[in-house]
Each structure stands twice: as structure tokens, then as C-alpha cells.
Amino acid sequence: MRVIVYIFFVLVSIFPVTGMGESQGASAEKIEKRIDGIINVLRDPDIELEEALSTLVSLRYYRSLNDKQVQELIEAFDYKGAEENGWNEDLVKSHEVKILLAELIWKKSRDQDYKYLNYVRSMLGSSLEAARAYAALSLGQMRSTQDICRLKEMVLEDSEMPATKAGLSLISMQTASSEMELKSALSVVCTRNYPRDLKVCRPLSEYIRALSEYKGKHNIPDPGLLPDGAESCE
């Protein structure tokens, strides 16, 4: 069941139609209020980290945020105006939330500031598995094709959770080179018999299969056979 849920969210992130929560009949005002409500989670003094993350991640699926909303995310990332904004300090200073905020700011702001992309990249070197996993997944959402080789290396060598998220990140990029490098990594991982490798191989192979079926049903073309400007990781 968990694999099915993950596949659904990966497919929605790759092929958003109207965006999760953005029903065709919803007015702009209702959508704006819904987004404001999600951002207000950062001010909740009692919310647990996992609950906050599961709520905040839905911001990925809204096509746009207004300038005020983006500014709020920036102030939360920088823990700016803490007293005025009423941020939950433990929440907004956690690695996982900061990574997600950096991703959202990068994607939703008018001007892309490499401060946020570089922050997420830096977290791939964290000693914490959860931080590496969140950073890997965000780089796919940010379409950071410069990190394809680094993500491939994580699929090959990192522990189970970061390796699986790195594979999902490569799927999310939807480029010929990211697909090629993921399949190359799995051709190695899926022939090794260590428990870690089996746990990485199975879900990623299932994601690739489900994505292929989805694209076939919806007549979505593959990215192509040739790499998209990225050099081979070999």
C-alpha cells in the first residue's frame, strides 16, 4: 500500500494537471486561503514534525504562490521576524523543513536564488539519513540535472532511505540522462544480494514500471534515447 501511495505522489509531481488541491472549480480566493492555511502550520506550537511535513509538502502541487506567500516562506527559512511571525522555532529550524522550504522558494519565487539550491545540495553531505533523503528528493523536484551523478552514487552506495529517495529524485527529473543513469545504477544494485540492495531495487523498479504504464496509458512520450546535454557518469 505504501508503495502505491508513493507512486501516486511521484506521478502527480511529474504530471500535475491542475495541481493537488487546485480543483478546476475552486476560486483563486479559496486557493489562496488554502495555501495560507498550509503555511500557518509553521506557526503551530504543538504540531509534530511528521504531521507538519506531510501538510507542507502539499505546497509542491500548487502551480503558483503569490509574492506574500513566498516571502513568508523566505522569512521562515531565515527564521526572520520570529516574534512577529510566531514561527515554531523547533519546526522551522529542523533540517527536513528547511530543505522543503528551500525547494519551494526555489520553485515558486519569481527570481531563483542559488542560495536555496546550494543549501539543499549541501545537505546531501549530512550525517543524518533523513536529511540526505529529503535533500535528494528535493533536488529531483528542483530539476537539478547537475546533480544526476551524485544522486546515482547515492542509489549505488548510500543507506536504504537516502538511496531510495535519490532514485525517486532521478525519476522525478524526467530527462533522458536521469532515466539512463538510474537504470544503470539499478542494473548493479538489483544484481547484488545484500538486504540493503534488495530494499532499494524492489521499490525503484516498481516505480519505473508504474511510470511506464502511466505514460503508455496517457500517450506521454519518453524523454528520448539520447542524453539531454548531461555527461555520462561513467
**Which residue would you say has higher pLDDT here, 175 or 19?**
175
For residue range 176-217, list pLDDT tens digits in order.
999 999 999 999 999 999 999 999 999 999 999 988 888 788
Task: Quickly state the pLDDT bin for 234 (edges 50, 70, 90).
Answer: confident
Beta-strand runs (E) in the chain: none
With beta carbons less than 8 A apart as the criterion, state whether 21 and 15 touch: no
What span, in angstroms and rounded, lies between the C-alpha atoms of 52 and 41? Answer: 6
Q: Is the pLDDT of residue 23 over 70?
A: no
CA 161 to chain centre: 14
CA angle 122, 138, 165 (to 5 degrees): 100
Which pLDDT score is estimated for 216?
80
pLDDT of residue 1: 44
The answer to which of 25-29, 98-102, 140-144 has the lowest mean pLDDT is 25-29
Q: 128 vs 52, 96, 156, 205, CA distance in Å?
A: 19, 10, 18, 25
Looking at the predicted structure, is the pLDDT value of residue 17 above 50? no
Average per-residue pLDDT in the chain?
88
